[in-house]
């Protein structure tokens, strides 16, 4: 599921099949899986950052668990995800 060592495609597929298709919300387990996929190659590459930015932009801060939102913001800051 990787392309040139990047997991961007796996991240995109997982996010639409598991995060947004079932309930439109992201929970801790789903976020951890996205993080694992992004870090499979040891770093978050540009394509992975782009996909993650699009995934995170779809999240409604009013409906996500505050601790999950905090983790999303931490992950975004740590890996320069817009």
- List pLDDT tens digits, range 36-67: 999 998 899 999 999 999 999 988 889 899 99
The band of 7, judged by pLDDT with boundaries at 50, 70 and 90, is confident
Domain that holds residue 52: 8-78
Total structural domains within the chain: 1
Query: Per the domain annotation, does 45 fall within a domain?
Result: yes
Query: Per the domain annotation, does 19 fall within a domain?
Result: yes
Q: What pTM was estimated for this model as a whole?
A: 0.82
Dist CA 14 CA 37 (whole Å): 9
Dist CA 38 CA 75 (whole Å): 11
The band of 22, judged by pLDDT with boundaries at 50, 70 and 90, is low
């Amino acid at each position: 599921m990787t392309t040139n060592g990047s997991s961007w495609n796996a991240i995109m597929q997982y996010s639409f099949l598991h995060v947004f298709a079932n309930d439109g919300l992201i929970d801790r387990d789903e976020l951890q899986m996205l993080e694992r996929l992004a870090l499979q190659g040891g770093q978050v590459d540009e394509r992975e950052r782009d996909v993650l930015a699009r995934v995170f932009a779809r999240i409604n801060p009013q409906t996500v668990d505050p601790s999950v939102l905090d983790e999303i913001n931490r992950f975004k800051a740590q890996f320069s995800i817009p």
